[in-house]
Structure 1
């Protein structure tokens, strides 16, 4: 069959790479793809700007499966269009994609169905937000309600910082309309974890746990990014913690989806905090995580086509995921200045000397050469019998790669 992957980042390169490894796949159509997918033998990049064009091309090419990578198309209803056309698509309709599209909507859903989470206030009133901040304990978490490319969450340490951030979100609108409503949330102490899952609305299957490293600086310092590296499985997610997650977060979420009557066939990403009082949910994503996908898919031994079609056909109850008995380390290389302003257009050197898997995120191919085109440029993923072995392999390969202004954290997994 032909598979269509929508998106242009490292996650989409990893998804296309995984689909291409299936003997069921003739070709992967990448919309729009990037420099990494441009170099894949079984892939073809397509520049399609509208959902109507994507559906029409899928019909013309006889596409048998569509995988939606980024959150924005899902929130805007791209899965609804494919469903209406009868084309199998992995991704929820817009009505339930609001679990990621609106943090306020997600928090109310959590409260309604007893999902373990932090206490919070939702408001679109700056005076109310400032008043709440004045009487709050610190640290305090401030979240922009809407989509902000993974950057709309700030942990503030005092009232002065809270006022500055609230004014930046709500008055200066540094995230546009996404920050006009905010969620002020109790700060949770603990260890973060990411757990992806797939659901057909009846059955939900969790993936291996992972640990993201969001801040730009080593030692988890500096502003948040889309993610600077991932290890999997997460050493903090013991069997006991995993059972707590399923009982207090995953199963209540599925119950909520069913009671809401949603036709949810797709991915749910659980961003978690492991606290002294148990596992708490920080946020939902309704698609594969980035860069969690780049760390996890190399260890998945189940055919991604079989898994996806079982989800579409509501047959996940018959699926058992299988994984390589290994650990994974994914290290992201970014352009100097990211997550702020950065320069681009620099050639990338050394890729031919890398031994393990490189997923391209922000790079385009011109005349056989890859040039930087984004903030997060690429990621190296390596697996090993231990986390230490995986880390050593990933960093050894990263040292072979270079481009002007290249930056990466050297403490992923420590």
Structure 2
């Protein structure tokens, strides 16, 4: 394809560095804007930057937004819609698709309006009302904060007690510690089964035929224990528009076309022998999901997103096996502690024991005179990926690449992808959700 000009916009934290780097390496012109002052060094030395993205709009052939947030407010969907109305090719959402992530109650309403069964859920703006509901309707619940505070991933709580007593205790604690910031929360009835996310790419009119199915690993420690994080790793594969897709994202194809949505949209679900139960939307790129999707895209990434933004039907070639991605992190992740970060992680050198950078993806990283260094303040420098014909082969390739990385104090989960081989894959096949 002809050389294109891509403008990447992080209207809050820097998230899309690796995609910008990938497309830049393919020979396209790239400019990257980061709003958060603490993140502005991320990507230095890897991708060209701009201090004013709005002044680059006329320069750009394709504009890519990486998230729904503009600082502490939802808002990139409105920006993307305005740019489309000006005739620009944009990867990004709309105000209503942004709301799918910001307002979980609204997201469930949209699904229900399109005939999708949802788990029993209730939105509360008052802690005492939520506590009373659990006491009157005892059961295990999941607590999901609403609004800006939902980005504090460790606040998501999955209840274990049949009478809901642990959920009551947690809500009482949140009322004291977070009542000034947590303006609301959703209580969702806990359902047992296989957790799987269905991810489609939408071109403004329809989904492309290739569908991505991925398995998130949000807890900090192996065995799925410890505090919740944004994500510690992901395993995935690509398939067609099967039953699992058609009963979830597929039901929203006409609605998304009416919105003019362009980009990746993901719906996380619990699946069991009785049905498919959506949990939440990600109407944007997932992180580190997009890095792993890059690993599996075997055609031009730049052409794919250029075609997608223009409403074309992209010619996407993907790896037909399995893929595994692992986030490599540093202290104090997933917590905020400036002193610990300064002493253990800030500006740390990233060393490789070979010349290969295959499967190495950027998160909070910069390049200073050829030396890779940790950047920003989050302690998430890299995502390492691997692919194979089986999940086990993908795991082995990924973890072999991690062994090539040396960063003092680095840590990561060593069990990404094991759930598939331990039985999740067999259960999904037996229930018939992964057929043609």
Q: Is TM-score (shorter-chain normalized) higher than 0.5? A: yes
User: Could you tell me how far 1:166 is from its partner in structure 2?
Assistant: 2.2
Question: Separation in 1 of the partners of 2:177 and 2:214?
Answer: 35
**1:21-100 counterparts in 2 under 5 A?**
21-22=25-26, 25=28, 27-32=29-34, 37-40=43-46, 43-46=47-50, 48=51, 53-59=52-58, 62-73=59-70, 75-76=74-75, 77-100=78-101
2:429 corresponds in structure 1 to none
Question: Separation in 2 of the partners of 1:150 and 1:296?
Answer: 25
| Partner-residue secondary structure (3-state), 1:282 | strand
**1:244-263 counterparts in 2 under 5 A?**
244-258=243-257, 261-263=258-260
Q: Is the 8 A contact 2:362 2:383 kept in 1?
A: yes
Q: Which runs of 5+ in 1 are unaligned?
A: none
Q: Is the 8 A contact 2:141 2:187 kept in 1?
A: yes
For the pair 1:397 / 2:401, whether they are aligned, the reply is yes
For the pair 1:162 / 2:157, whether they are aligned, the reply is no
Structure 1 residues 63 and 201 mapped into 2: Cα distance closer, same or farther (>3 Å)?
Answer: closer
**1:251-400 counterparts in 2 under 5 A?**
251-258=250-257, 261-316=258-313, 319-342=314-337, 343=341, 344-351=345-352, 353=354, 355=356, 356-369=358-371, 370-373=373-376, 374-400=378-404
Structure 1 residues 233 and 85 mapped into 2: Cα distance closer, same or farther (>3 Å)?
Answer: same
Question: Separation in 2 of the partners of 1:368 and 1:35?
Answer: 15
For the pair 1:133 / 2:143, whether they are aligned, the reply is no
**1:4-19 counterparts in 2 under 5 A?**
4-7=7-10, 12-19=16-23
Q: Is the 8 A contact 2:7 2:53 kept in 1?
A: no
Question: Separation in 2 of the partners of 1:304 and 1:367?
Answer: 27
User: Could you tell me how far 1:335 is from its partner in structure 2?
Assistant: 1.3
Structure-2-length-normalised TM-score: 0.81
Q: Which runs of 5+ in 2 are unaligned?
A: 419-436
Q: Is the 8 A contact 2:360 2:385 kept in 1?
A: yes
User: Could you tell me how far 1:346 is from its partner in structure 2?
Assistant: 4.4
Q: Is the 8 A contact 1:11 1:293 kept in 2?
A: no
Q: Is the 8 A contact 1:11 1:288 kept in 2?
A: no
2:424 corresponds in structure 1 to none
RMSD: 2.7
Question: Separation in 2 of the partners of 1:359 and 1:9?
Answer: 17
| Count, aligned residues | 392
